[in-house]
Structure 1
Amino acid sequence: MIPKLLSCAISSLKHMWLLYYELADFAKKAGLVFPPRETYDFSVMRDFPPTWITSDVWQALCTIWDTDTWRNISESGKRNRSSSVNGSISVHTGGSITTEQHRKKMAKGKDPLWGDIFKQTHLEKSEKVKLASGELIGSQPEYWVNEKSWTVFDKYEKAMCEKYSPDPSRHSLGDVEIWEHCVGGRK
């Protein structure tokens, strides 16, 4: 039950800012003073579940969200999502799964190339369908989530072709030295 609750908590927290207004209206109608949006006082919110979730599940979620541990995780995530590295905020299109999980999903009898994993997590969502079906041959800057992603990929592909072969099928899975150089050093 707890892993399912935690998964639900993470998913629901992403939509918290939308729920806040719905919950604030319920609380105000009940005569309560609802806290400012920045505070997220879950002890108040606990009594006002959204219409689409049962009261017991909502109260369990609020109990999780009302801990210092959860607040620390939330703040850390907020900082990470807005942090800038080399003048660019990190943008991924891989969803909530890790790069390693993407690698495992992409492995069909053999490990995927690092460049292909990078594409899976940095291409615009519409281009991933083409990538999966093998239709995406050349990669143009407009296919990527931001210019930095395109630049890193282009630099990496050129360096791999220079070191190994113009034919990507003859490349190693990945080259740490080339990768670190292309992304601007070890993070």
Structure 2
Amino acid sequence: MEVQELLYQMFMSNHRFTCRSDEAWSRLVWTTTACSNFKHLLYNARKNTQKVCQSVDPTLWRECALTWIRRDYWESLCNIWAAERWQQTSTTMKVNQAANPEANMHTSGSVSFATHQSRLEKELKQPPTFQEVFDKTHKKKGMDQYISNRAREVAESYSQ
């Protein structure tokens, strides 16, 4: 059995759903959440190992294997992170993010867009428009002011 399937079965051993479609939906949400959490887990592992080894060279991190991951997996990850293609992509992403810091700004924290949409639907007692959810996640709390010029521009383009 795959690790992902085993973990999902462990999750399901603690949860029950009345409707089959809810179970299918839960699988989708669980998988999305697990992928996101795993991505952050690897990011933190990489950053922490960089600090411990006091080096930005992933080839030197191989010796600083983490206790929760198999050594051969860790070495494979270090090889991927050391590869020129990965390094180039990482550098490009850092440059892009620094060039436009407003691009990823929102006020929703770690709460997903879908969760905001669901909460807003309960509050309004009808499905919210995309504009309403965008405003909820990109305006300062208690104010009718967008958190950035970019957010205001995007909102204006949606309203047209």
Q: TM-score, normalised by structure 2?
A: 0.51
**Residue 103 of structure 2 aligns with which residue?**
90
Shift of 1:64: 1.0
Distance 1:153 1:71, change over 3 A: closer
For 2:146 and 2:69, locate their aligned partners in 1 and report how far apart those are by CA, in whole Å. Answer: 34
Paired position in structure 2 for 1:49: 65
User: Does residue 158 of structure 2 align to residue 142 of structure 1?
Assistant: no
Deviation at residue 51 of structure 1 after TM alignment: 2.0
* Residue identity in the other structure for 2:116: K
Instruction: Give the AA of the match of 1:63.
Output: N
Give the drift of 1:73: 0.9
> Which runs of structure 1 show a deviation greater than 4 angstroms over 4 or more consecutive aligned residues?
7-13
Q: TM-score, normalised by structure 1?
A: 0.45
In the other structure, the counterpart of 1:124 is 108
Relative to 1, partners in 2 of residues 1:150 and 1:10: Cα closer, same or farther, differing over 3 Å? closer
1:54 CA displacement:
1.3
CA deviation vs aligned residue, 1:127-183 (integer Å, no higher than 9, x gap): 83232342366536216983235412442354x3xxxxxxxxxxxxxxxxxxxxxxx
Gapped regions of structure 2 (runs ≥ 5) = 5-34
Q: Which of residues 48, 56, 59 in structure 2 aligns to 1:18?
A: 48
Aligned partners of 2:62 and 2:78 also within 8 Å: yes
Instruction: Report sequence identity in percent.
Output: 18
Q: Does 1:76 align with 2:74?
A: no
- CA pair 52-69 structure 1, distance change in 2 beyond 3 A: same
In 2, Cα distance between the equivalents of 1:56 and 1:127?
A: 34
Cα distance in 2, alignment partners of residues 9 and 63 from structure 1:
18
TM-aligned CA distance change 1:74 to 1:9, over 3 Å: farther
SS of the residue 1:142 aligns to: coil
Provide the C-alpha distance between the structure 2 equivalents of 1:70 and 1:9, rounded to a whole number of angstroms.
Answer: 18
RMSD (Å) for aligned C-alpha atoms: 3.5
C-alpha spacing 1:63/1:50, structure 2 compared with 1 (3 Å): same
Structure 1 unaligned regions, length at least 5: 25-33, 93-121, 161-187
Q: 1:150 to 1:18 in 2, by over 3 A?
A: same
Q: CA deviation at 1:83?
A: 1.2
Amino acid paired to 2:156: K
Matched pairs, number: 108
